Amino acid sequence: MANAVASPEKGTEQQGLFNPANYINGIWHKDGDGNFATVVDKYHGTRLAQLPLASIGQVEEAVAAAFASRGSLRRMSAGERSDKLEALALLMEQRKEELAQLIMQEAGKPIGYARDEVARSLTTVRTAAAEVLRFGGEITPVDFGKGTGKTAFTKRYPAGVVCAVTPFNFPLNLVLHKVAPAMAVGCPVVLKPAKKTPLSALALGRMIEEIGWPKGAFSVLICATSLTEAMVKDDRIAMLSFTGSDEVGWRLKAISGKKKVTLELGGNAAVIIDRGTDLASAAKSVAIGANLYAGQTCISTQRVFVVKPEFDQFRDLLVKEFNALKSGDPSDPEVSVGPLIGKGDFDRIATWVDEAVKGGAQLLAGGEPVDAAHHVYAATLLTGTGRSMKVDCAEVFGPITIIEPVQDFAEGIVRVNDSNYGLQAGVFTNNFAHVKQAHEELEVGGVIINGIPGFRIDSMPYGGVKDSGLGREGLKYAMEEMTEPRLIVY
């Protein structure tokens, strides 16, 4: 079986890192429904792999094998599951540079950020391996009234088969945020990665095969949307864990029936700049947080609200930082703003900026392609925007940020909350009363003090409210989502 990645113009090869096939019940299938997905280098446009789309019969085989594997996983001790996760981390460690290069190519992610993703992925797996050994139920006090003399406690049991659907922007770590906790608690997984960036998931599948994980307990499928929806409806699937757009996520939840659902969706994350803040330091953080990986993260800084006494100075500092960012080839270690994931998104970004400017917004930085042939758009800063503009109310998922003045901190909170989304927010302040106020009043899943909303440690609870999602990821929290407590009283 062919198993190399090649970029003809660059002559690069990652021999043996992944198989260009669907992984089902311990077997790599090069055949499918007759259709193929072509994965390209997002900067050079060269072909990395051509992958068969799974047939309806293969999807059925994957789901049936996962359902049948529940018993073998249930019989594994916590120590055995931890050892397997440690073995997986060891393989990833040995291949970390290959994985980083693969992420850079298939996702167009700047190489420094790709290496950071691999490092975070290792933390994700190792944290899961450690969490297995301390994860359990709780003592339930009942020794009073009619429960006098009784003892009660819970033990957590795997919910069952998890259907994991993952996005393009973190093709390894966001996959592992579903796969690692599922392995930790003993849930089989049928994984459907993004068609634009499935190669890291296939590389992970090969490593999971190498560590001797039970056959059928993990499958990787590249398939049509209709087959993904069929899996979501299947009663043998106990849980849907989805990361992606709010439109798709809520649709899948609507058709999922009675199964458990975790949704990590989009956002238009905001920052408040309060009085007395270190403006120079905050401007540098915000510029990076808004534009790293061309803003293609759900907690990329999109909206900035600055109290009026600080607005002019902070605006000028932020413009300087935006203009200092380097755009271009993601293989250059100094590049922050690489290519957008495809031409459709590149064109959409340009259209949204043009619409905002025609609607009265003022362009402070960027606002034009850097390299249209490679889908690189400049880090763009706008002011004077309106709430109805897409750059304000929608999720940009690109290198566009708006900056607006507010009268005071209270108005900043109102402006942050004036959104259909609520994932994370950043607050730069030295006023502890405002720290408390932000925590109490901001309608988001997480508040980052003196930091950007893009801050994430992989063990922390992560998720949002409103259109930003349902449930929480982060290893222990995902393990709780993937299990059910069972009470015993005696």
Asked if 221 contacts 107 with a C-beta cutoff of 8 angstroms, the reply is no
Asked if 423 contacts 469 with a C-beta cutoff of 8 angstroms, the reply is yes
Q: What is the 3-state secondary structure (H, E, C) of 114-154?
A: HHHHHHHHHHHHHHHHHHHCCCCCCECCCCCHHHCCCCEEE
> Looking at residue 10, what is its pLDDT?
37
Asked if 302 contacts 349 with a C-beta cutoff of 8 angstroms, the reply is no
Residue 442 vs residues 84, 113, 384, 432: alpha-carbon distances, Å: 40, 29, 23, 15
- DSSP tag of 15: T
Asked if 305 contacts 453 with a C-beta cutoff of 8 angstroms, the reply is no
> Looking at residue 74, what is its pLDDT?
93
Q: Of 239, 225, 169, which Cα lies nearest the Cα of 470?
A: 239
Per-residue pLDDT of the chain (490 residues; tens, 9 = 90+): 333 333 333 333 355 899 999 999 999 999 999 999 999 999 999 999 999 999 999 999 999 999 999 999 999 999 999 999 999 999 999 999 999 999 999 999 999 999 999 999 999 999 999 999 999 999 999 999 999 999 999 999 999 999 999 999 999 999 999 999 999 999 999 999 999 999 999 999 999 999 999 999 999 999 999 999 999 999 999 999 999 999 999 999 999 999 999 999 999 999 999 999 999 999 999 999 999 999 999 999 999 999 999 999 999 999 999 999 999 999 999 999 999 999 999 999 999 999 999 999 999 999 999 999 999 999 999 999 999 999 999 999 999 999 999 999 999 999 999 999 999 999 999 999 999 999 999 999 999 999 999 999 999 999 999 999 999 999 999 999 999 999 999 9
Domains 6-265+468-489 and 270-458 belong to one CATH topology: no
Task: Give the catalytic positions in this structure.
Answer: 264, 298
> Looking at residue 1, what is its pLDDT?
31
Asked if 265 contacts 474 with a C-beta cutoff of 8 angstroms, the reply is no
Asked if 16 contacts 29 with a C-beta cutoff of 8 angstroms, the reply is no
Distance (Å, whole) CA 305 – CA 275: 12
Distance (Å, whole) CA 194 – CA 307: 40
DSSP string, 214-275: PTTSEEE----HHHHHHHHH-TTEEEEEEES-HHHHHHHHHTSTTSEEEEE-----EEEE-T
CATH superfamily of 6-265+468-489: Aldehyde Dehydrogenase; Chain A, domain 1 (3.40.605.10)
User: Which contacts of 98-103 are long-range, i.e. CB under 8 A and separated by 24 or more positions?
Assistant: 98/14, 98/17, 99/17, 99/172, 99/200, 99/203, 101/12, 101/14, 102/5, 102/14, 102/17, 102/18, 102/199, 102/200, 102/203, 103/171, 103/172, 103/197, 103/200
- DSSP tag of 427: E
Distance (Å, whole) CA 1 – CA 23: 13
48 Rama class: left (phi>0) / alpha (psi -120 to 50) / beta: alpha
The residue type at 322: F
Asked if 124 contacts 110 with a C-beta cutoff of 8 angstroms, the reply is no
Please report, in angstroms and rounded to a whole number, the separation of the first and last CA atoms in the chain: 57
> Looking at residue 392, what is its pLDDT?
97
Distance (Å, whole) CA 464 – CA 473: 10
Q: Residues 6 or more apart from 489 whose CB is under 8 A from it? A: 142, 147, 150, 151, 152
The whole-model pTM stands at 0.94
Asked if 263 contacts 471 with a C-beta cutoff of 8 angstroms, the reply is yes
For CA atoms 61, 66, 67, 72, the dihedral sign is: positive
Distance (Å, whole) CA 482 – CA 465: 19
Sorted by where each begins, the domain ranges of the chain are: 6-265+468-489, 270-458
10 Å CB burial of residue 129 (0-12, 13-18, 19+) is buried
> Looking at residue 5, what is its pLDDT?
37
Residue 199 vs residues 100, 223, 370, 409: alpha-carbon distances, Å: 12, 14, 28, 45
> Looking at residue 16, what is its pLDDT?
81
- DSSP tag of 294: G
270-458 CATH: 3.40.309.10
